[in-house]
A and B are shown apart, each in its own frame.
Chain A
Amino acid sequence: MTTLTEVPETAAARETPARRRRRVDRLPYLLLLPALVIIGVLLLWPLGQVVAMSFYRLNSVRQLRGDREWPWVGLGNYADILSDPFFLTVLRNTVLFAAANVLLTMVLGTLVGLLLNRLGRKMATFVASCVMLAWATPALTGTIVWKWIFDDTSGLVTWLFNALPDGLSNSLFGRSDWTGYGWFNSPLLFFAILTLVVVWHSFPFIAVSVLAGLKSVPSELHEAARVDGASPWRVFWKITFPLLRPVFGILIVLSTIWDFKVFTQQFVLAGGTQDRPTFMLAIYSYAEAFSPPPKYGLGAAIAVILTLILLVVTGFYVRMVLRQEDES
């Protein structure tokens, strides 16, 4: 009975707004207008400026103010950068760091997401709350705290290494007294600590997103597979992973973009822009542009190169996201 009365109503309801929508075609553009203006003026236009700047030799503030000429150098800045062996170091640092961090964040985040899904209610809430703390901590203070943990006199890590039996410490590392040891001095150690800080900040997002994805998957599938005797490894790759593929896709894109652009953590951990061996593209661009003597054009060219790399790396995923759009 109820279905009989409902059917014509919903049919009518579907029809009217559809017709309305066709009539008010301008509405979506109107709704988009403020966002378009803001993104256009504050992101796209300055980006265009940066691209333009990358074609000029800009070495003084007076040029920026327009008091002096901008000498056109065409692709000169790009040629300078690409022929500089230091650029290769920076590029290698950036790519290796981003790859390692995306991989570590994804693996740790996924494992923690799976774990949260299996834990009892109370335990899951407790662990999730702790994980939230790492996520919520601002990059600035989070990094300052890690810097304190690695302080060379009173830091926790220095103390831990000092607490190792001298013989063991000596045979492993060739020193027993760690007071005054510069944890940030060797590039490799610096990158290890930076990775620790970045992974600590970013795995919670992955974990919680994976958990939310898992919650939306019917648990019967997993149970059935487990009853059939499939190993957890097989269950993950044959059932969980395919179902969560879209979520993983988005998470990898976002992590890649974020990890290629790490700036604040590096800036704070290195104490500015003096530590050239540990430069990555984002901080390299900033340092070239601003540390005296300023080379704004060169800095702009590096930024353009970084943006292009990100576009290429993530282009594949952008296509995937759009395919999802079409399906929905």
Chain B
Amino acid sequence: MKKVALNAAGLLVALFAAFPVYWMISTSLKPSNEIFSATPQPVPTHPTLAHYREILTGNLIPGVSFFDFFLNSVLVAVSTVVLSGLVALLAATAVARFRFRLRTSFLIMLLVVQMIPLEALVIPLFLMIQRLGLYNTLPSLILTYLGFSLPFAVWMLRGFVAAVPKELEEAAAIDGASRAQTFRRVLFPLVAPGLVATSIFSFITAWNELIFALTFINDQGSYTLPVAMTFFFGRDDTNWGPVMAASTLFTLPVIIFFLLVQRRMVSGLVAGAVKG
């Protein structure tokens, strides 16, 4: 009896969590007359890929295709992930492995910078980007998202680094390995799963961001996907079929990436919470 109640509660939670995603995909597969019928169909009765064809073959904005925007977003997100992973790993090693004078101050700073409302930084960053001659370029976004994702990435990774037994590094040191060698051959491979997990945060930060992408890029050919979608979505009469198809294509890479790394990510987060 109790088991039944627990399972029922589980199903309810699953339904609440997954339904919007299901509804997005389901709507994207319905022909327009089914989408706008007064009675919503739980399952597409005449599934069609027409909305996907419209998105993928046509131009989302005159002259620029969905694929161009997608590529821009991939470029920005992947660069952000790689750079922030590298820098975060170095910093996480410092705070997890060494006791030094500024360690506590650095940790406080990591917490404090996460309280800055990032939208507030639009103007100063915009001026900086202009002065650097990066206005209208994708590197302007890569640089910005690197700054945004780094504090949390360091915070998360230090849990993973702390979880690697010190004895392994010490053994390598006895065998005559230099600090750099120990770092590269012992610590890095063991932290790699944590690095993959951390990368999802940087990826989502870069993949999702809208306001800075809207401000720093004026040239439509360099729009990222969120910006393109906002334009597409903001037309007078929302055409939900193509919008849901675009949303699905936008969401799927994140979901796939996410499901691959979630287990490690969670253990790292909690490790970061309970031990230095």
Contacts and interface: CB of A to CB of B under 8 A. Distances in A.
A151 B21 CA distance: 16
Interface string B1-18: 001001101110111111
B68 interface: no
Question: Is chain B's interface secondary structure helix, strand, loop, or mixed overall?
Answer: helix
A140 interface: yes
A136 B261 CA distance: 11
A283 B127 CA distance: 21
B124 interface: yes
A131 B13 contact: yes
A318 interface: yes
Contact of A119 (B6, B18, B115, B275): B6
B120 A130 contact: no
B43 to A, nearest CB: 14
B143 A42 contact: yes
B231 interface: no
B119 A42 contact: no
Given A34-B90, A134-B17, A115 B210 contact: no
B270 interface: yes
A322 interface: yes
Interface of B: 3, 6-7, 9-11, 13-18, 20-21, 23-24, 27, 35-40, 87-88, 90-91, 93-95, 97-98, 100, 102-104, 106-109, 111-125, 127-128, 143-144, 146-148, 150-151, 154, 166-167, 169-171, 173-174, 179, 204, 207-208, 210-211, 226, 229-230, 233-234, 238, 240, 243-244, 247-248, 250-251, 254-255, 257-259, 262, 266-267, 269-270, 272-276
A131 B3 CA distance: 20
B250 A140 contact: yes
Interface stretch (A76-84, A98-106, A181-189, A304-312): A304-312
In which size bucket is the chain A interface?
Answer: 35 or more
A28 B267 CA distance: 25
Given A14-B170, A136-B257, A138-B250, 10 more contacts: A17-B169, A34-B87, A43-B148, A120-B3, A140-B210, A140-B226, A208-B262, A247-B273, A304-B120, A318-B108
A130 B234 CA distance: 30
B98 A47 contact: no
Interface string A280-317: 01110110011000001001100110110011001000
Contacts of B13: 112, 115, 127, 130-131
A216 B275 CA distance: 13
A39 B109 contact: yes
A285 B114 CA distance: 17
A320 B94 CA distance: 21
Given A38-B150, A42-B143, A264-B208, A20 B173 contact: yes
A123 B10 contact: yes
Given A28-B98, A200-B16, A322-B107, A144 B179 contact: no
B24 A325 contact: no
B179 A27 contact: yes
B20 A200 contact: yes
